[in-house]
Structure 1
Amino acid sequence: MGNIMEKLEITAQEAYCKKVEELTPSELHLALGKVVMGEIAPNWAKSKAKHNSERRAYYFSAEFLMGRMMYNNLYCLGILDEVTKLLKKKGIDINVFEEIDDAALGNGGLGRLAACYLDSAATQEVPLDGYGIRYKYGLFKQLIKDGYQVEIADNWQRFKDPWCVRREDEAVTVSFKDQTVKAVPYDMAVIGCKTDNINTLRLWQAEAVNEFDFTAFNNTEYDRAVKEKNDAENISKVLYPNDNKYEGKVLRLKQQYFFCSASLQDIMRRYKAKHGTDFSHFAEENAIQLNDTHPVSCVPELVRLLQLEGMGFDEAFEIARKTCSYTNHTVLSEALEKWSADLMTQVIPEIYDIICLIANKCQEELIAKGINNEMRAKMRIIDGNAVHMARLATYAGTYVNGVAQLHTEILKADLLKEWYQVYPERFLNKTNGITQRRWLGLCNPELSELITDKVGSDDWLIDLSKLSVLNDCLDARTINKFNKIKAKKKVQLAEYIKKMDGFDVNPDTIFDVQVKRLHEYKRQLINAFSIMAIYFRIKEGKLPNWTPTTFIFGAKAAPGYARAKAIIKYITEIANLVNNDPDTKDKLQVYFISNYNVSYAEKIVVAADISEQTSTAGLEASGTGNMKFMLNGAVTLGTWDGANIEIAECAGVENEYIFGARVEDIDRLKKEGYNPAGLLEQNPELKRVINTLIDGTFDDDGAQGEGSFRELHHALTKGTHWHDPDHYFLIQDLPDYIETKIRANADYADRKEFGKKCLLNVANAGKFSSDRAILEYANEIWHVSHK
């Protein structure tokens, strides 16, 4: 890059009539972002032209959890240190950019995975571009008030965004039964590391075709004057609007169809510029990856658009089938989208009609293959009044993949068993990955320096398998250096938590961390119960050698998810108890940090000693947080689930702390009968812990026996009308979990041996790079070229 500071000074003067050192953080962010965008513009244009000349892939996702772009972009360009020093000469600390909000366009692992994949595709020169929605408010900002989650709007755009370029000239229209809106694209450059290649994330913003009805306003009908504008903008207003009511379901369906239709129109425009109206080569030039079920309306929409070009249904469907592939991210039935046929006919009737044609074609194909009536019934795309989007995606695509070895096997053996029996050639596994640029290079420079020294170069930034060299470098001196780095990162995290949440965290304790989306199957509650068991043992003198530990939680609960919110309240009640008890406060501390996001994660994963991955076996498709902790030298305290299994295989099960029932154990318990209440009667310690929900130990601001904690207790011991007691087997796994946690705590006291376990995790994390994953997609699913 050219003279950055000179260009920054010119931009500051022209845009704000200020010197660089006089700019506010938001002004500096915009000015420096503008300079960087100007510098990369030629390479971006070259990359777009190159991609347009070859077969290319597109990643359709409702979420892209990109995080802050400034540090990551400067890092990938190789100029972060240079810019840091230049700003320092002006008296500016580069950390001022931490005041700029994350682009919170995702909810968790799904969206962060999409962001990592775009990063890896750019670095590995895979011609992959992303398509999604430019939500105005993202997910939500989380406050914790009196122990409860409170949601407020996350206006991440209030400081403006220098990284997205509005492309008004490439806007398209999207029509619903009762509404037509304009989809305006914003392009974000995705910068590769150690390459000139730059990919693109195109995000669509919904706007009104006619923003203002002047006549209505003149007639003092002020609300009607802007109704079309408001109705249109609602579509891209918020990620995952609450769908507990009919209106919310309508908005969600509109969101999904909106970005699918706009994206396909965009791809087809680009194709027509090269080939005219001959779409016979469309599938040869384009591959579309459907990230979960949210973009599955892409399939019937592509058929519809091809029919508008004069193509018959059968031909159009075959092109759609050859173009699209589907990634499944969950085995939870409630997360496998099923849309009401009535709703679809009210919102996107043409799409529903095409889905009916596809559903009929599917049944005809199954009959031709000799599939019996019973099996065909289980494979209906439209079953009763429900449209099964996962079934549609599985039938109407080239490939289906799970995101960890266990997950893919569960898809084949259970969730999509019939489909696997009929179409086994479609099923592949693609274990998730993370980008080492952001999740090690950028957020942990001290460990990165140590690795580069031991490996002999920083080539691990683009080939994480090179970390395996560390297996031969586990001498006492290296372990000591690693432990010092970990201690430094813990001090930095403690300072950050103090700044963000006001907690006084002791960095000289074990950092036992569980940060992820709040959901019952992820079982933050089992962690909370284990802390209560340990608290009681410490109080009673049963853990005399307990190493002081700080338990750190971070999670957002969906706004309409009452039980998840109750779990947050329960954890904060535990924190109030143990942090203030003179018998335990020096040995046990609990903190629930607020508004967990990518930037918070960058501080947390580098400082953790123990990574909590406690999902019920068979329910976490993969996880990627577990990989981030592993890469930065934390041991996994987790179940035989998702990628935990592969982590243990790579680093050695002796270097992790695995507990609890396996999938086959859970299946057996379901078959033979599971009685959690009986287990509690046999184990007084567990009963005492579980009963803290109802015995007055904690206050959930409800009348005794009628609050949200009582509901949690009832669900565990007696079940509800929609699930059996202890649906996620917390009580089953809790005894083993407590003892495994205590064993990890005891092992930590031997700093050399525990440090060795941590370094072995780092050394064997190479498999979990998103570079490896994206190259597998490129070679085995999309069949596109790369470097």
Structure 2
Amino acid sequence: MKRLTAKELAAQITQFINTSYNVEVQEATNEEIFYSLAAVVNEQIKPLWFDTKNRYKSEQAKQVYYLSMEFLIGRLIKSNLLNTGMLDVANQALAELGFDAEEVYAVEHDAGLGNGGLGRLAACFLDSLASLGLPGHGYGIRYRYGLFEQRIIHGNQVELPDYWLKKPYAWEVRREDEICVVQFQGNVLMHQRNDGSLEFKYEHTDKVLAVPYDIPIIGYENETVNTLRLWSAEPITEEPNHSTDQDEFYRHLDFEHSIEQLSGFLYPDDSSYEGKELRLKQQYFLVSASIQNIMKQFKKNYRLSLKHLPEKVVIQINDTHPSLSIPELMRILMDEERLGWDEAWDITTKVFAYTNHTTLSEALETWPKQMMQSLLPRIYMIIEEINERFCQGIWFEHKELRDKIPELAVIADDQVHMARLAIVGSFSVNGVANIHTEILKKKEMKNFYSLYPERFNNKTNGITHRRWLMQVNPKLTTLINEMIGDQWVKRPKQLINLLRFQNDRNVLEEFAKVKRENKILLANFIHDQMGITIDDQSIFDVQIKRLHEYKRQLLNVFHIIYLYNELKENPNLDMTPRTFIFGAKAAPSYHLAKETIKLINTVASIINYDKSIHGKLKVIFMENYNVSLAEKIIPATDISEQISTASKEASGTGNMKLMMNGALTMGTMDGANVEIHDLVGPQNMFIFGLRADEVLHYYQHGGYNAREIYNNDDRVKRILDQLQKGEFGTQDIEFKDIYYNILYHNDPYFVLKDFEPYIEAHEYAESVYRDEYKWQQMSLINIAHSGKFSSDRTIREYVSDIWQIKPI
């Protein structure tokens, strides 16, 4: 690809503005400039995209397909410019044209294709696959509406539609030539062929068009462009007869609307039967379209018999949501390709690999048997056969596990268990952090591990350092390049070379200066957005993640209330000023999570305007947390709150992003915190609280009494009594549910148990912060060790242990 100069890029943008919008460039809006810049970038990468596909085909390369219900890709403009080597040139060209580059980039709406860590991980993995020159692509759904746009009104979360596709999406290409049909419901007819084999035919099915939209995934300066293919559901256009039957016409419109719902919303509310059914339909829509497409590409590109499919195709299932791809491939191999069961099953179980993302039993998906049978009759028949053969195999070959069959069966208690289906149908099952994988093997999936020990492996998550360091923190990137050169960009573990500067006060001061500048930028942004002035010299203490009880935002806010109580009693308390920053969305039907958001905002409204505490505490809840907001917060963070109940967080990736930008972790020994601890040592982070084995022991054997702590710790008693009496609320019934959940449901996530060690860890962190030299050393040591958490390392491990693909 020929690199454009700033002058050439400015000329191309100007030409596009003139011809497409019929205005002079000086009169153009930021939006018009953004679309013109995107058009130029697209023109640059089109030939690379075409060449990449042809290269894979001519090399007959084995390819990996990453199936996920979420791809939280954020804005792509800066990422695409960075990876094509055009970011500095674009900044310069836009400045020459009289535009603020950041304002132009901000025109792009965050793509509403994901919710949290699962979707962001998928996005990082695609970036690493392309940047390592590996043949790997994503398949997802092109949701018209994202999760929701969060507004905070009177402290409450209010959900508004996130119609992110209201304006044209600059990076997608609609592929009419690749449309396929997905079928639901109907009847399955079975009869015997002349050769004795069984044939299955379908009648009266509801047919839906799956229309692919392709998004280029650009590798970092390597001319590789892979594909994220998103499916949009559309009706098969058959015009109803308006004149003869009005009822039929309206039925047709209802049917069309129900089809469009398939790619309408990310995670529709599943508190009703209809909502649950829609989620199941979405999952099948994704996997059926994707597997059909993969099979079509295999036949077109390789011209091999189907027994060679595992040599050319590997499909990674990102959590249980795409597990129906296993019976869907079986359906295609048997019903369309006329293979027998044994041959089809042998191929299928060599193609699929499954990533588990949770130890929370309530998060392991199940579907009512009747719903599956009614909605996907043929798929259900295949799952039933998988289950029958699997259970028989245990009965005859693993007599020691016979009594465990109800806990292992794919269909049990009138439910289809998706994690069990994924394990039975895959050749690899991986956890996403060492501690998580060990809990799966020893507890959550112990029986499956005894059946298939060779399938279980660990792949600790990672993040793309190109976005989460180079793109979001250009000043830190420049400084690192000055210190150790830029070889770390291609080999991020070389960040370890920064350790040679850990005792160099001048270098440490340069790193501290970058942090201060980033804090000023965030403080200004918060003031512009919220009208709140924060002290940019204060400790920026950050918790940004989905709002869930196990992530324990409640522990954080209890600590804030404790500090406020201390300051109210002694306004002259010698305390380093703190700014606590939260970003979080709660699921719309998750009452306790929404109550926690209300509590944070209520506490903020009291603390932020109390002049008697002399500005020593500020609490900021940043509305509508998303990737773009994370990109602003992370470079400015001092303390990274990773305080989940030990054993509950599979990995976490926010901990890695914050560490990479020099924040120090305040955390439990949970998820990837354990591996951060193993790298930097306990002296370079703030570890507190129960360990995973202690938590699991309490769950199994009891012995924890929250009320006892309430009765014996006057700090805890005061906070809970303040909630109960309505001191943080306009009415005394507010926050009673939090109060009762702690005391009457025995504090299920051990907030009170970890409260005292959490306070002590914070007191220690404050004392370290006062020693600037020591804090700067710890920060540098964290950055130096963060290269291990690049998703490039994770992808290389998937490649060597699971996928067996090669760079092309």
Partner of 1:320: 348
CA contact (8 A) 1:126 1:778 kept: no
Per-residue CA shift, 1:103-143, capped at 9, x if unaligned? 12111100000000000010011111000001101111100
Partner of 1:207: 234
Instruction: For residue 471 of structure 1, report the CA deviation from its aligned partner.
Output: 0.5
* Structure-2 separation of matches of 1:248 and 1:290: 23
Query: SS of the residue aligned with 1:273?
Result: helix
Instruction: For residue 89 of structure 1, report the CA deviation from its aligned partner.
Output: 1.0
Partner of 2:717: 687
Query: SS of the residue aligned with 1:81?
Result: helix
CA contact (8 A) 1:30 1:161 kept: no
| Residues 629 and 358 (structure 1), Cα distance of their counterparts in 2 relative to 1, 3 Å cut | same
Per-residue CA shift, 1:209-247, capped at 9, x if unaligned? 127535269949874453232111101011000000001
* One-letter amino acid of the structure 1 residue matched with residue 306 of structure 2: F
Partner of 1:538: 567
Matched, 1:128 2:155: no
* One-letter amino acid of the structure 2 residue matched with residue 67 of structure 1: G
Instruction: For residue 395 of structure 1, report the CA deviation from its aligned partner.
Output: 1.1
CA contact (8 A) 1:434 1:770 kept: yes
* Structure-1 separation of matches of 2:228 and 2:243: 38
Alignment of 1:273-288 (within 5 A): 273-275=300-302, 278-288=305-315
* Structure-1 separation of matches of 2:45 and 2:285: 30
Q: Which residues of structure 2 form unaligned runs of 5+?
A: 186-204
CA contact (8 A) 1:290 1:327 kept: yes
Query: SS of the residue aligned with 1:560?
Result: coil
Alignment of 1:111-150 (within 5 A): 111-150=119-158
Query: SS of the residue aligned with 1:85?
Result: helix
Selected match of 2:99 from 92, 97, 102:
92
Matched, 1:38 2:43: yes
Please, what TM-score do these two structures have when normalized by structure 2? Answer: 0.94
CA contact (8 A) 2:240 2:248 kept: no
CA contact (8 A) 1:324 1:396 kept: yes
Matched, 1:68 2:68: no
Per-residue CA shift, 1:655-708, capped at 9, x if unaligned? 10011000121123331421100111111111111222211212265xx34x4x
Partner of 2:395: 367
* Structure-1 separation of matches of 2:207 and 2:35: 33
| Residues 379 and 331 (structure 1), Cα distance of their counterparts in 2 relative to 1, 3 Å cut | same
* Structure-1 separation of matches of 2:244 and 2:652: 52
* One-letter amino acid of the structure 1 residue matched with residue 786 of structure 2: A
CA contact (8 A) 2:241 2:249 kept: no
* One-letter amino acid of the structure 1 residue matched with residue 762 of structure 2: K
Selected match of 2:66 from 53, 59, 69:
59
Partner of 2:117: 109
Partner of 1:48: 53
Per-residue CA shift, 1:316-335, capped at 9, x if unaligned? 12211110010000010111
CA contact (8 A) 1:148 1:568 kept: yes
RMSD over aligned CA atoms reads: 1.6
* Structure-2 separation of matches of 1:180 and 1:28: 41
Partner of 1:508: 537
* One-letter amino acid of the structure 2 residue matched with residue 269 of structure 1: K
* Structure-1 separation of matches of 2:544 and 2:725: 28
Alignment of 1:307-346 (within 5 A): 307=334, 308-346=336-374
CA contact (8 A) 1:142 1:150 kept: yes
* One-letter amino acid of the structure 2 residue matched with residue 715 of structure 1: N
* Structure-2 separation of matches of 1:390 and 1:216: 50
Partner of 2:284: 257
Matched, 1:485 2:492: no
Partner of 2:162: 154
* Structure-2 separation of matches of 1:216 and 1:175: 29
* Structure-2 separation of matches of 1:79 and 1:459: 19
Partner of 1:777: 798
* Structure-1 separation of matches of 2:250 and 2:665: 55
Per-residue CA shift, 1:581-601, capped at 9, x if unaligned? 222251000011100000000
Partner of 1:699: 729
Matched, 1:347 2:375: yes
* One-letter amino acid of the structure 1 residue matched with residue 276 of structure 2: K
- What is the total number of aligned residue pairs between the two structures? 777
* Structure-1 separation of matches of 2:327 and 2:246: 42
Q: State percent identity of aligned pairs.
A: 44
Instruction: For residue 766 of structure 1, report the CA deviation from its aligned partner.
Output: 1.2
Selected match of 2:467 from 434, 438, 441:
438
* One-letter amino acid of the structure 1 residue matched with residue 665 of structure 2: T
Q: Which residues of structure 1 form unaligned runs of 5+?
A: 720-724
Query: SS of the residue aligned with 2:110?
Result: coil
CA contact (8 A) 1:553 1:593 kept: yes
* Structure-2 separation of matches of 1:543 and 1:217: 83
CA contact (8 A) 1:142 1:556 kept: yes
* One-letter amino acid of the structure 1 residue matched with residue 82 of structure 2: Y
Matched, 1:567 2:596: yes
Partner of 1:722: none
Alignment of 1:429-468 (within 5 A): 429-456=458-485, 458-468=486-496
| Residues 220 and 261 (structure 1), Cα distance of their counterparts in 2 relative to 1, 3 Å cut | closer
| Residues 447 and 217 (structure 1), Cα distance of their counterparts in 2 relative to 1, 3 Å cut | farther
* Structure-2 separation of matches of 1:504 and 1:257: 49
Alignment of 1:655-670 (within 5 A): 655-670=684-699
Query: SS of the residue aligned with 2:636?
Result: coil
Query: SS of the residue aligned with 1:590?
Result: strand
Query: SS of the residue aligned with 1:204?
Result: strand
Partner of 2:752: 731
| Residues 275 and 746 (structure 1), Cα distance of their counterparts in 2 relative to 1, 3 Å cut | closer
| Residues 647 and 483 (structure 1), Cα distance of their counterparts in 2 relative to 1, 3 Å cut | same
Matched, 1:405 2:434: yes
| Residues 301 and 501 (structure 1), Cα distance of their counterparts in 2 relative to 1, 3 Å cut | farther
Instruction: For residue 642 of structure 1, report the CA deviation from its aligned partner.
Output: 0.3
Alignment of 1:136-285 (within 5 A): 136-177=144-185, 179-210=206-237, 213=240, 215=242, 219=246, 223-224=250-251, 226-275=253-302, 278-285=305-312
* Structure-2 separation of matches of 1:25 and 1:213: 44
Partner of 2:765: 744
Per-residue CA shift, 1:696-735, capped at 9, x if unaligned? 212265xx34x4x11111111111xxxxx21111111011
* Structure-2 separation of matches of 1:406 and 1:242: 32
* One-letter amino acid of the structure 2 residue matched with residue 202 of structure 1: R
CA contact (8 A) 1:479 1:756 kept: yes
Alignment of 1:466-481 (within 5 A): 466-474=494-502, 475-481=504-510
